[in-house]
């Protein structure tokens, strides 16, 4: 059986993620398979690069933490199919979070309204929610 934590502890763990990465992060969306882990080098083609608003995640509640504000790139960098994302610290080089990207309703860690990206088009993140385990 896995260890279980009270909701307040799970919320604190989630809030620590945002505190650790910083209030001004960079989000990049790529094609292809994600790297083996967040410390590995980038992979795929960079499709979109955006700077979510400061305080980019809402406060954790009920063991989840969702994106805050609008996350959007007004002009995509390249053409391709979005497949994974990486969130970098304020320094722009230290990756803190990575995961899969799918179309809304597709079950990815992050969802877009359309994963087919054309260079120069607007790219908007539909949803991004972190859920703490060990409930």
Mean pLDDT along residues 93-107: 95
- Residues contacting 102, CB < 8 A, separation 6+: 108, 110, 111, 112, 115
Mean pLDDT along residues 74-97: 96
pLDDT at 1: 63
pLDDT at 91: 86
Identify whether the C-beta of residue 97 lies closer than 8 Å to the C-beta of residue 25.
Answer: no
Identify whether the C-beta of residue 42 lies closer than 8 Å to the C-beta of residue 92.
Answer: no
Identify whether the C-beta of residue 64 lies closer than 8 Å to the C-beta of residue 131.
Answer: yes
pTM of the model: 0.93
Question: Alpha-carbon distance 89 to 74, whole Å?
Answer: 21
Q: Hey, what are 122's tokens?
A: 């607007």
pLDDT digits (tens, 9 = 90+) for 2-11: 899 999 999 9
């Amino acid at each position: 059986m896995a260890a279980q934590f009270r909701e307040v502890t799970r919320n604190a763990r989630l809030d620590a993620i945002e505190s650790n990465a910083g209030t001004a992060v960079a989000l990049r969306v790529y094609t292809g398979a994600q790297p083996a882990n967040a410390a590995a080098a980038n992979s795929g083609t960079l499709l979109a690069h955006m700077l979510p608003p400061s305080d980019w995640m809402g406060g954790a509640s009920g063991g989840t933490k969702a994106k805050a504000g609008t996350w959007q790139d007004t002009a995509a960098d390249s053409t391709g199919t979005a497949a994974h994302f990486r969130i970098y610290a304020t320094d722009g080089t230290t990756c803190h979070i990575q995961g899969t990207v799918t179309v809304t309703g597709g079950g990815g860690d992050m969802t877009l309204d359309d994963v087919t990206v054309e260079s120069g088009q607007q790219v908007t993140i539909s949803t991004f929610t972190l859920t703490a385990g060990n409930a």
